[in-house]
Amino acid sequence: MKVSNNKIGNPSGNLDAGKLGKADSAAALKKDIQPGSVKSSANLKGSSNVNVSERAQMMAKAKEIASSPMTVDEAKVARLQKMIDEGNYKVDAEAIADRLVDEHMTIPD
């Protein structure tokens, strides 16, 4: 499938790039540009504004945390592994469920 867009100029497509030379095309394009319709980047610096949603901010924070190097407390891991192996590690399912519900309630929809 070949896609071609030879039309340039205003939306009505009165200009055909295939029929005009470079100088003619440039002159025709200049005619279509309205004074004041294009702002320079210098004019936009002070007026640029980006609003990021709270959810997007949370996602950015999660990505930052996930990409940061992790520090592992080897002593704690060894202690917990020993407790699990000996059968002494007890899980408080109710406390875990409460924390999961609390976390879920703080996440905006």
Residue 16 CB partners (closer than 8 Å, separation 6+): 6, 7, 8
**pLDDT of the residue at 35:** 55
Q: What is the mean pLDDT of each run of 10 residues along the chain (109 residues)?
A: 55 50 54 53 64 89 89 94 94 95 86
What pLDDT score does 86 carry? Answer: 96
CB-count exposure of residue 23 (10 Å: 0-12, 13-18, 19+): exposed
Residue type, 87: G
Contact indicator for 32, 9 with CB cutoff of 8 Å: yes
Domain positions in the chain: 7-34
The mean pLDDT value of the chain amounts to: 75
Output the pLDDT for position 108.
76
pTM: 0.33
